[in-house]
Chain A
Amino acid sequence: MCLAIPGKIVEISSDNQDSALVDVVGVRRKIDLGLLQDDKPVPGDWVLIHVGFAMSKISEQDAADQMSTLRMLGEIDGAMQEIQGYGLEDVN
Chain B
Amino acid sequence: MRFVDEFREPELISKTAEEIRRLAGTDRHYRTMEVCGGHTHAIYRFGLKDILPENIELIHGPGCPVCVLPMGRIDDGLAIAHEPDVIFAAFGDMMRVPGTQGSPLEHKARGMDVRIVYSPSDALKLARLNPDKHVMFFAIGFETTAPSTALTMMRAKVEGIRNFSVFCNHVTIIPAIRAILDSPDMRLDAFIGPGHVSTVIGCRPYEWIARNERKPIVVSGFEPLDMLQSIVMLLRQLKAGEAKVENQYKRVVPWEGNRAALRAMAEVFELRPYFEWRGLGFISQSALRVNDKYAEWDAEQRFEVPGIRVTDPKAAQCGEVLKGVLKPHQCKLFGRECTPEHPIGALMVSSEGSCAAYHNYEHRKAAMVSLSSIA
Contact = CB atoms under 8 A, between A and B. Distances in A.
Contact of B42 (A73, A83, A85): A73
B93 A52 contact: no
Given A2-B196, A51-B148, A58 B119 contact: no
A49 to B, nearest CB: 9
Interface in A53-92: 53, 55-56, 58-59, 62, 65, 68-69, 72-74, 81-83, 85-88, 90-92
B122 A35 contact: no
A17 to B, nearest CB: 13
Interface in B66-119: 66, 91-93, 115-119
B260 interface: yes
A91 B222 contact: no
A50 B196 contact: yes
B116 A91 contact: yes
Nearest to B42: A73
B37 A62 contact: no
Contact of A69 (B122, B144, B197, B222): B222
Contact of B196 (A4, A34, A68, A86): A4
A65 B116 contact: no
Interface string B189-204: 0000000110110000
B328 interface: no
B343 interface: no
A59 B352 contact: no
Interface residues of A, number: 35
A56 B223 contact: no
B151 A34 contact: yes
B177 interface: no
B64 interface: yes
Contacts, number: 131
B144 A55 contact: yes
Nearest to A62: B251
B125 interface: yes
B121 interface: yes
A91 B137 CA distance: 14
Nearest to B126: A88
A2 B116 contact: no
B120 A51 contact: yes
A88 B223 contact: no
B167 interface: no
B38 interface: yes
Nearest to B251: A62
Nearest to B221: A69
A15 interface: no
Nearest to B144: A2
A56 B116 contact: no
B145 A2 contact: yes
Given A34-B260, A35-B151, A91 B46 contact: no
B353 to A, nearest CB: 10
Nearest to A75: B41
A40 to B, nearest CB: 10
A85 B140 CA distance: 18
B332 interface: no
B260 A50 contact: no
Contacts of A37: 260
B65 A1 contact: yes
Contacts of B6: 72
Given A2-B38, A86-B122, A91-B122, A68 B117 contact: no
Interface of B: 6-8, 36-38, 41-42, 45-46, 64-66, 91-93, 115-122, 125-126, 129, 140-142, 144-145, 147-148, 151, 155, 196-197, 199-200, 221-224, 251-254, 258-261, 264, 350, 352
Interface of A: 1-2, 4, 32, 34-38, 48, 50-53, 55-56, 58-59, 62, 65, 68-69, 72-74, 81-83, 85-88, 90-92
10 cross-chain pairs, A with B, having the tightest CB-CB distances, nearest first: A52-B119, A85-B118, A53-B148, A35-B261, A82-B118, A37-B260, A34-B151, A51-B119, A38-B260, A62-B251
16 contacts: A1-B37, A1-B66, A1-B140, A2-B38, A2-B144, A2-B352, A32-B119, A35-B264, A51-B148, A56-B254, A58-B251, A86-B118, A86-B119, A88-B117, A91-B122, A92-B115
